[in-house]
Amino acid sequence: MTSPSRKIKRKKKAAAQKELKKKISLFGRLGDECDACQKPFDKKCKEHAMTWNVVVRSKENIVRLYCPDCWDKARNLIKELENDSRVQAKTGR
Ligand SMILES: [Zn+2]
């Protein structure tokens, strides 16, 4: 006799494995160059693996890869935009 709780456990495991497979396949979609400047990304390079940034949007099945330069630029841009809107909010009446 198999207990029903055992069956549920097995189902959960299968779902987790499915999720893992999805994640792996997402990483398989990882490009080999920066999404912004097309600088080549060396998957075997430890420094690249440490410094490059991966943005995963699992909902949309999108994986983006950014080199440190573009990542910094994007972050500064966001900061500037934030500052701009703050300035506008202050001066705008
Ligand atoms: Zn770049």
Q: How far is the CA of 35 from the centre of ligand 1 (A)?
A: 6
- Sign of the CA dihedral running 39, 41, 45, 50: positive
HEC states along the chain? CCCHHHHHHHHHHHHHHHHHHHHHHHHHCCCCECCCCCCECCCCCHHHHHHCEEEEECCCCEEEEECHHHHHHHHHHHHHHHHHHHHHHHHCC
Write the single-letter amino acid at 14. A
pLDDT in tens, 32-88: 899 999 999 998 899 998 999 988 887 888 888 999 999 999 899 889 988 887 776
In the chain, domain spans:
1-30, 31-93
Distance 3 CA to ligand 1 centre (A): 55
How remote is the CA of residue 7 from the centroid of ligand 1, in Å?
A: 48
Give distance in angstroms: CA of 6 to centre of ligand 1.
Answer: 49
Cα(33) to ligand 1 centroid in Å equals: 8
pLDDT value at 27 more than 80: no
